[in-house]
Structure 1
Amino acid sequence: MSQSAPSLPDPRQYSATPPVNNDFLRQAGVILAATTADEKEMWQSALKSSLAEHLEREEMLPISVALAMADSQAVYRTLWQALGDALDGDTVVFALPLVLVAGSKGAARLPGELADPEGFASLLGRVGLVSDPARVAWLPQLLHPDTLAGVKSSQLYRLAQGSADAARDTLAALPAAPVSLSGEGVFLRYVVGVARRDANGELPIALSGAVGAWGMPLMQSLNAMLKTDGVTLFTIPRAPQALTAALVAGGQARHEVAMQVFASNRIRRLRELSLEPVAIASAHEGGELRFTLSARGDVKNWEGFVWPLSPLDSVPLIARQFAELMADCRVDDVRFVPQVAADKDGEVPVFFTADELSPAGAVIQ
C-alpha cells in the first residue's frame, strides 16, 4: 500500500571534517547559526563581498574547495546563493531552460538554433514576460547544459561588470547543440539572453517565478521553430533565471519530465500485459535515487529509472513528486525503501522489483 508520507534517506556524502581554514565555510556556518535577521543579513553581505573579491582576482580554488567540502546541504545552499548574489551585477546573463520530449522512428536531428529568434523575442514581449524587448538580447543558438556549466564563475563576474553588448558578443561564441535522437528521449537545452539594469536597478525581464500564461504560446511557438520531419516534439519551457540558477532548475525539470515519461510508458506496457504495476523508490550509495516499475511474479517486464542527485536536489521533494505521479497514474502499490541501499551487487547496478520487497514498509528482504 502507498505510504501517506513518502520518505527516502539522503544518500549523498558530505564532508565529515570540513577545512577549518576556509573562510567561506566558516561564514556560511555563522549565517546558519545567526539568531536575528540583522545578524544574518550582516554575515550574508560579508560572504557576498568575500566571494566577489575572489571572483575579481579569479581566485577560484577556495570557492571550489568550499563547495566541495560543505558538510551539509544547508551549508552548500548558503554558499551557492551567496555566489549567485556576488555574480549579480548591472549586466545580467540569464537562461530559459527548454525540456524537449522528442520521438522518432529512425535517426533524426533537431536544429541547434531558433528558426525565428526575432519572433521569439517579440512573442516574449507580447505575452508579458519581457517589458521592453529592445533591452533584451537573445542568442539564437540552443545551448547544451554542459556548455553553460563550462562558463567559469569568474567569467560571469566579469560579464556582469561590463556592458550588455560585450556579454552578448562573448556568449555568442558558445556552440549550438542540435539534438540527435533515435526513438524517444528527453533532452535539455537553454536559450540564453542578456539584459542591462536601468537607473533604478530594474530588469526588463521577469526572472524566476512560475511558468505563467506565457507558457502555452511559447511552447507552441518553439514547437513550430524546431519542427523536424519525422519527429514528434513536445517543448516544455521553464521560467528564465540567472544563469547559475537556471542550470540547477533546468536539470531538475529535465529529470522530473523524464521520470514522468518513464512511468507513463512502463505502466501502460504492464497494463497491456494485464499486469498490475508495483512502484518502488530507493536511495543508493553514490548519490542516486532509483525507481522501478514491475509486477509480482514477472521477472521480464520491469524497468528502472535513475535520478543522479545534484547538490541542490531535494530528496523529500523528489519522493513526493514520485508518490503524486503514481497516484495520478492510479498505481496503488508504491513502496519506499527506508535505508540507503548498495550501488551494485557485484558488477550489476541494484534495482528492486516487486518480488524482492515486502509491501508493508518496503523492508529489504
Structure 2
Amino acid sequence: MMTPKHLPDPRLYPTASVSNRLIHMAGTVLASASEEARELEQLALRDAMSDLLARDEVLLISVALNMAPSQAAYQVLWQALRQAVEQVPGRHAEVFAMPLVLVAGSRQRATLPDRIADVDGLNGLLRQHGVFAEHSEVFLSGKLLHPDDVVAISPAQLYRYHRQLADAARGLPLPLEASAVTVKEEGVFLRYLVGVAIREEDHVAPVDYSVRIGAWGTAMMKFLGEALKTEGVTLFPIFRAPAPLMQAMVAGNQARLEVAMQVFVSALLRKLRSEGREPVVTLSAHEGGELQLSIATADQPEVAERFVWPLAPLDHVERIEQDVLALLHECQVEMVRIEEIVLPARA
C-alpha cells in the first residue's frame, strides 16, 4: 500500500536563540509535564502579557510573535495574548465582530452600500434568534469595515477598550470609516461588522459566540442581501458567526480565502468541462509561505491557472489540504497530484 502524500509546511521559523522572556515562557508551557502544570504556566504567560499591555509596552509582545520558533509556540503566545485582552474581572466591555464575505459580480463598474442602513433591524434579528442575549447591552454597527482598518486595531487598544468603555451605545472611540465595495466583473471581498457588548459580572454572556449558524443563517443572508442590493450586481453575502475581535480577524481571513478558492475552482472547472477538457489539479507548497492550487488540463498540462493561499501564522496546512481535497472530491475531480516537497516561489 502506498503512503498517502501530504503537503509540507513551507513556513520558516527562526532557529537562533532569541532572548525574549515571553518566548521562553511559551517554551515552558509546551514542555509542561502535565495538564495542570501547563495551565499554571499558561496563566503566568497571560499575566505577563497583561502587565505589558497595561503599561503599553508592546514591543516585547511583537518581537515574541514575530520570532516564535514554531507554530505551536506562536499559538501559545497568541492564546495568552487573547486571554490577556479578553479576560477581564467585573463589569467590562467586549469588542466583537462578524466577518462578512461578499461574492459579487457585475458587467459594469458598480459600488455597493458601505453600511447596513437598517441597523436596528440587523441587531433585532440577532437578538430575535438568541445570538444577542435578551435585555443585554450590545450593539453591532452597520458600517462595513475594511480588513486593513480592523487589523490596525492593536491588542493594546483592545485591552483598553475592554476595561474603559462604559456602555455599548458609545461604540468604539475610533473614527473608523465605512468602506464600500466596488466591483467590476467578479470578486470576493471581506468586510467586518464590529460591535461592543457589556458583560455584567456573573450574568449571562451578552453575545453567544458558540452559536451555530442554523436556521437564523438563512434569515441573516436574506437580510444582508436586501440591505446591500445594488442594481446590476449579483451578490451572495456569506458571513461567520460573531466572535471576539482578535478571533474574528482570523476567522474572516480564512473565510475569504476559502470562499475565493471555491469560486476559483467552480468557475474554472465549469469552463473546462464546457469545452470537453479534463481538469488536472496540483496542490503544492512554496517558499515564502504559500500554498498553491493549480488547474491545468490533460491535453495541456504545462498551461495552468493558479490560486494562491498565503499562509497566516495560525493556518494549519493539514486542515487546508483536507478542505481542498474535499472540495475537489465534491466537484468530481479525479486527477489530483500533491507535491511532497517545498517548491521555489512563483510570481
TM-score (structure 2 length as normaliser): 0.94
2:177 aligned to which of 172, 175, 178: 175
Instruction: State the match for 1:359 in structure 2.
Output: none
Q: 1:255-308 CA deviation, whole Å, 9 max, x = no partner?
A: 011100000000011101110011111000000001111102226863210000
Instruction: State the match for 1:87 in structure 2.
Output: 85
| Residues 71-80 or 81-90, more deviating | 81-90
1:52 aligned to which of 50, 54, 63: 50
CA distance in 1, matches of 2:166, 2:228: 27
Instruction: State the match for 1:14 in structure 2.
Output: 13
Instruction: State the match for 2:22 in structure 1.
Output: 24
Shift in CA distance, 208/81, structure 1 to aligned 2, threshold 3 Å: farther
8 Å CA contact 1:137, 1:168 repeated in 2: no
8 Å CA contact 1:125, 1:133 repeated in 2: no
* 1:67-82 superposed matches below 5 A: 67-82=65-80
* 1:1-365 superposed matches below 5 A: 5=4, 7-19=6-18, 21-88=19-86, 89=88, 90-132=92-134, 134-165=136-167, 168-171=170-173, 173-200=175-202, 202-208=204-210, 210-298=212-300, 302-344=304-346, 349=347
8 Å CA contact 2:7, 2:321 repeated in 1: yes
| Residues 177-186 or 157-166, more deviating | 157-166
| Residues 81-90 or 166-175, more deviating | 166-175
Give the letter for the 1:302 counterpart.
Answer: A
- Name the SS of the counterpart of 2:161 in structure 1: helix
CA distance in 1, matches of 2:234, 2:39: 49
Give the letter for the 2:141 counterpart.
Answer: L
Give the letter for the 1:43 counterpart.
Answer: E
CA distance in 2, matches of 1:237, 1:194: 18
- Name the SS of the counterpart of 1:211 in structure 2: coil
CA distance in 2, matches of 1:132, 1:215: 19
Shift in CA distance, 126/41, structure 1 to aligned 2, threshold 3 Å: same
Unpaired runs of at least 5, structure 1: 350-365
- Name the SS of the counterpart of 1:228 in structure 2: coil
Unpaired runs of at least 5, structure 2: none
CA distance in 2, matches of 1:13, 1:26: 19
Identity of aligned residues (%): 45
Number of matched pairs: 342
- Name the SS of the counterpart of 1:96 in structure 2: strand
8 Å CA contact 2:93, 2:161 repeated in 1: yes
Give the letter for the 1:93 counterpart.
Answer: V
CA distance in 2, matches of 1:343, 1:167: 48
Shift in CA distance, 40/139, structure 1 to aligned 2, threshold 3 Å: same
- Name the SS of the counterpart of 2:172 in structure 1: helix
Give the superposed CA RMSD: 1.8
Q: CA deviation at 1:5?
A: 4.7
